[in-house]
Amino acid sequence: MNPAQNAASPLFAEPTPLGLIGLAVGCAALTPIALGAALTPAAFKTAAVVCLLFGGGCQFLAGVMSLANRNLYGGTLFTAFAFNWVMNWWVLSSVAGGVMPDHAVMLAADACFLLIFLAMTYGFGFFSGLLFVFLLDIDLMYVCKLVAGLTGTAALGLPIALLTILLGLLALWIAFAMLLNPVAGRNLFWLPGPVFRAAPGKEIAG
């Protein structure tokens, strides 16, 4: 997710599209559940496998490749987020088996995730406006999850579902921009510049 290229040749091809496509597929699998359209054990088990393979697997691979390419920022986000998807797999599998995860533990984990993503959102603003919006969508999703968890309200179910759909669409847009724009030789998918500017004389590192 770092548009700046390192001086040394990268070990792998840019892995960001792989991670984003995996995230989009994971979001698609969660959407019927988030909308309340598929709440059977079979639906939970099916979504769990998709979250594990695509959300977890693709993002873990993208994160490790990014770190190998000396992209600290993208590698850290992808790798950490991959384990978040593994946690989604466990939660869905547990619910399908009739075991509800502990509410207090999940709430504490979500609060920590929100702090992490808030910091990462600010950092990605130095790379691209669309990446900034992408992380902001995740922030809003976790805010909704925390409010719902603390208050017990079900009114935030639809906003969380819509944010999940938007996250998947943003992931696909960025992935397609990185894959297809260079092939077509023109901007088929618009990618805006950074929201923030680094201090003069400071180079943004991966």
Please tell me the predicted confidence (pLDDT) of residue 202. 58
Please tell me the predicted confidence (pLDDT) of residue 5. 43
Tell me the C-alpha distance between 59 and 68, whole Å: 14
Tell me the C-alpha distance between 170 and 82, whole Å: 18
Closest listed residue to residue 47, CA positions, set 61, 29, 64: 29
Tell me the C-alpha distance between 59 and 13, whole Å: 15
pLDDT tens string, the chain, 206 residues long: the values are 554 444 468 899 999 999 999 999 999 999 999 999 999 999 999 999 999 999 999 999 999 999 999 999 999 999 999 999 999 999 999 999 999 999 999 999 999 999 999 999 999 999 999 999 999 999 999 999 999 999 999 999 999 999 999 999 999 999 999 999 999 999 999 999 999 988 776 555 55
